[in-house]
Amino acid sequence: MIKLIGILVVALGFALRFNTLLVVMVAGIATGLVAGMSFNEIMELFGKYFVENRYMTLTVVLMLPIVGLLERYGLRERAETIIRRTKAATAGRVLIFYTAVRQISIAFGVNIGGHAPMVRPLVSPMAEGAARARHGDLPAKTSESIRAHAAAAENIGNFFGEDTVFAVGAVLLIQGTLHAQGYDVGLWALSLWGIPTALVAFGLLVWRARVLDRKIAQSVAKPEAEK
């Protein structure tokens, strides 16, 4: 039971809004100490895993110079212009289209998305641009909500396409874990049973995207009604 102290520290730390890095470090140190490690051993583990997981930060860091450069030369403005010319575009439809492309491509093992390379420079300006083309200037809250939904669309497309059709990381982990326990399951069976959830996730994203479009319309209509 005492081993769960780390989870408690994290829950309390997040609830009381301490600095997140500090909360994580304290949780790790507390968990290590109650498990009988020395302080140096804990630092060693932190260092080891930090270096092993540099790839998580790498893809974001290497993307920033190119995204910054292109934004400086008007990438987001151009993305908005293009979408303004597409009469049928709405913020929600941009997100639906992006999620569909993302789910299908990653199902075939091709990872073309990402928050830094796609969502910030292309998807979110297109979604915001589509909304502005229809409704004119948006309240700050509405435009932040569009951006948050763009990030959500990226995550849904990424998570719920990956385990279908073509076997990748997660499917191999599942197979390995079950194999170690004496259960042999085929990669195809695992991929097949990922499809229903992938379809459900896409359907639900379509619903959320429509709700978003309706909310955008309301947020713009309200101030006018008060006049």
Partner 1 sequence: MKLLSLEVFYVIAGVFLLLVAAGIAADRAHPKRWGSALFWGLLAVTFLTGKSLPPVVVGYLMLVMVALAATKQMGFADKAGASPAERTASADRLGNWIFLPALLIPGTAVVGTLLLSKLHWGDWWLLDSTNNVTVTSVCLGAVVAVGMALRLTGARSIVPVGEGGRLVETIGWALILPQMLAALGGIFAKAGVGPVVADLAAHALPTQFPFVAVVAYCLGMALFTICMGNAFAAFPVITLGIGLPFIVQQHHGNPAIMAAIGMLSGYCGTLLTPMAANFNLVPAMLLELRDKNAVIKAQVPLALSILAANIGLMYFCVYRF
Give the shortest CB-200-to-partner 1 separation in angstroms.
Answer: 5
Is 13 or 217 the residue whose CB approaches partner 1 more closely?
13
Give the shortest CB-158-to-partner 1 separation in angstroms.
Answer: 8
Is 182 or 223 the residue whose CB approaches partner 1 more closely?
182
Contact predicate 112/102, CB 8 Å: yes
Give the shortest CB-227-to-partner 1 separation in angstroms.
Answer: 27
Q: How far apart are CA 227 and CA 222, in angstroms?
A: 9
Is 58 or 221 the residue whose CB approaches partner 1 more closely?
58
Is 1 or 88 the residue whose CB approaches partner 1 more closely?
1
Give the shortest CB-150-to-partner 1 separation in angstroms.
Answer: 7
Give the shortest CB-226-to-partner 1 separation in angstroms.
Answer: 24
Q: How far apart are CA 194 and CA 189, in angstroms?
A: 9
Instruction: Tokens for 159, please give them.
Output: 């998570």
Is 20 or 221 the residue whose CB approaches partner 1 more closely?
20
The secondary structure of the chain as a DSSP string is -GGGHHHHHHHHHHHTT--HHHHHHHHHHHHHHHTT--HHHHHHHHHHHHHHTHHHHHHHHHHHHHHHHHHHTTHHHHHHHHHHH-TT--HHHHHHHHHHHHHHHHHTT-----IIIIIIIIIHHHHHHHHHHHHSS--HHHHHHHHHHHHHHHHHHHHHHHTSSS--HHHHHHHHHHHHTT----HHHHHHTTHHHHHHHHHHHHHHHHHHHHHHHHHHHHHHHH-
Give the shortest CB-107-to-partner 1 separation in angstroms.
Answer: 13
Is 73 or 88 the residue whose CB approaches partner 1 more closely?
73
